[in-house]
Amino acid sequence: MTQYADIFDQKMMSNLFPEERTNDFFEALFGDAEEGSYDISLAYAGDNGDTVHFELQLRQRPGCCLACNLTYGLPQVFSRHPIINIQGVAEKVGEAVGKPENVSWKLGATQEKSRELHVIPLSISLS
């Protein structure tokens, strides 16, 4: 078992990135949460020493299309968007493992896992 796997269970993931954040994001973006074509969730993806890896998972909503042209520019959008708040997520991760100082993060490029699931890697350094 990895160093942080027990800490970052499903309950913690929901605390770090609440389900309603997706609707808040689309409400701010489009004026209507129903306009969003995917749901966003956070998943633990492992660790490497003092770097914890997560995925922002984009799951296609029923009757919608999770088109690549919708998701490939998202790392840049998510890195700055106050509702997504990646900096806040990183700070909470640091607090959860008792290392709240010197937290930094990096979003990777969108990866298409399937037509219904795209992921954006998030690495959080705790050193």
Residue for token pair 């808040």: 24
The tens digit of pLDDT for each residue in 27-53 reads 998 999 888 899 999 999 999 989 999
User: What is the residue-averaged pLDDT of the chain?
Assistant: 92
Residue closest to 124 by CA, chosen among 1, 3, 10 = 3
Query: Helix (H) and strand (E) counts for the chain?
Result: 5, 5
Both tokens of 91, joined, read: 């700070």
